[in-house]
Amino acid sequence: MKIEYFYSLASPFAFLGSEKFQTIAKKNNAEIVEKPCDLVGGIFSKTGGVPVPQRSPQRQKYRLDELKRWSEFLNIKINIKPKFFPPKDPHIPAKYTIAANLLGIKIFFGHELLKKLWIEEKDISDENNIELISKQFKIGFNELSSLAKSEKVSKIYIDNTEEAIQKNVFGAPTYIFKNELFWGQDRLEFLERALKQS
């Protein structure tokens, strides 16, 4: 069983759901197919989404309320207004995550980047911070960096984004199992139900 995981490396809701998602997948013997994608410049522009800074004050306030509620409910202490959100260049951490995937480090690399942004308040566009994560996983940073900046990774990133749009993805995180789409970490119970019924 495979779950396609479309997400942005800047999404607080992807981070809040990350550990639970990994637990659900492991418990149900499901493989996570990780697909970092361009949410703002790619998916939003094709599906009517609006970047957070451009949303109405009412929507921005409710988003912060939701982050606070979910953070407390899940007992995950995040900074709901971190210093480096949105990242200066969200493509950089996405491409490094894809590169780490190609080197055999699945879901965990992206999780650590999200953690740096939402808990440690670090700039995940800064390669020095990405290098710290590469050391955690014992990946040679020169090799990782070279791969992240390659045409191969750029193509995967573009392909992930185009595939997401074709599959009706409009926000992050989105989980797809057997062509059924589950948007948001608050839909993980429905995803688990689908896994158990398959």
Domain ranges of the chain: 2-197
The answer to whether 76 and 111 are in contact (CB under 8 A) is: no
Indicate whether this model's pTM tops 0.75: yes
Give the pLDDT score at 106: 84
Give the pLDDT score at 107: 81
Secondary structure (3-state) at 135 = helix
73 half-sphere exposure, CB direction, 13 A CA radius? 12
Give the pLDDT score at 82: 96
User: Among all chains, which residue has been given the structure tokens 């595939």?
Assistant: 163
Residues contacting 78, CB < 8 A, separation 6+: 12, 15, 16, 67, 71, 118, 119
Give me 56's structure tokens. 């109405």
CATH number, span 2-197: 3.40.30.10
The beta-strand segments (E) located in 22-119 are 31-36
Give the pLDDT score at 191: 98
Residues in the chain with pLDDT values less than 70? none
